[in-house]
Amino acid sequence: MRPRIGWKVLLLVIAIAALTFTTSHAGAAEISGVKLPDQVTLEGKTLKLNGTGLRQAKILLTFNVYAAGLYVENPGHDGEAIANSDSPKSIEMVFMRDVTAKQMADAFQEGFDRNCVAGCAELKPHLSKLEGLMKDMKKGETMAYHFLTDGVVVVIRGQKSGKIGDKAFSHQLLRVWIGKNPPNQELKDGFLGGKK
């Protein structure tokens, strides 16, 4: 009798440990080995993960630059509706390779030029300020962009780096990722929950 009871207790302990391990990681999404939270808090509001994607670049071969998630108050699949919404939004990213500040500034310039839909010339000074905040990033480091009604907050390695622009800039900058000409279509589709 005792050996059976011992095995039952052991199996129960293993089951509880497995359940604890599973539930502790249930609140995270994973993309290419990078974990992202299911939600973030911004200005006292809970933003839900709308979708995840990989920013990819191609120089002979395709490689992953960063994994990221788009967080919104009300999940949806319409990129324009999300970009035009006045509710807070956030993009949280984890770098998968080293990237220079200049590479990011160049990517922002190209992405903004290809996706801006209104007031583009007036918003260019804000873009220049954003580019000035960029830092060289190492693999595993984090960056976030918080899109608010009074501008965009940039967070680098967990520290607020600056706040730029206004509502119009906030709406336009988000289009760099989910506008008509995203850096790569898979990133946009992933951010919008697999929808275009």
Helix (H, G, I), strand (E, B) or coil at 1: coil
Cα distances from 12 to residues 6, 18, 87, in angstroms, run 10, 10, 46
Beta pairing class for 34-37 and 89-95: unpaired
Computed over every residue of the chain, the mean pLDDT equals 87
User: What are the contacts of 30-34 at 24+ separation with CB within 8 A?
Assistant: 31/67, 31/190, 32/64, 32/67, 32/96, 34/67, 34/94, 34/96
Specify the pLDDT at position 91.
98
Cα 87 to Cα 72: distance, rounded to the nearest angstrom: 8
Instruction: Band the pLDDT of 16: cuts 50, 70, 90.
Output: very low
Whole-prediction pTM value?
0.83
Between vectors from CA 80 to CA 64 and to CA 137, what angle results, nearest 5°? 30
> What mean pLDDT do residues 88-104 have?
97
> What mean pLDDT do residues 157-169 have?
97
> What mean pLDDT do residues 17-30 have?
46
Specify the pLDDT at position 195.
52
Share of the chain above pLDDT 70, in %: 85
DSSP string, 3-43: HHHHHHHHHHHHHHHHHHHHHHTTTEEEETTEEEESEEEET
Sign of CA dihedral 118, 122, 126, 129: positive
pLDDT digits (tens, 9 = 90+) for 102-137: 999 999 999 999 999 999 999 999 999 999 999 999
Give the chain's largest Cα–Cα span.
Answer: 82
The yes-or-no verdict on residue 24 having pLDDT over 50 is no
**Residue 26 or residue 116, greater confidence:** 116
Sign of CA dihedral 16, 33, 157, 153: negative
What domains, with CATH codes, occur in the chain? Answer: 28-191 (3.50.70.10)
Beta strands in 83-158 (DSSP E): 89-95, 142-148, 151-156
> What mean pLDDT do residues 14-43 have?
65
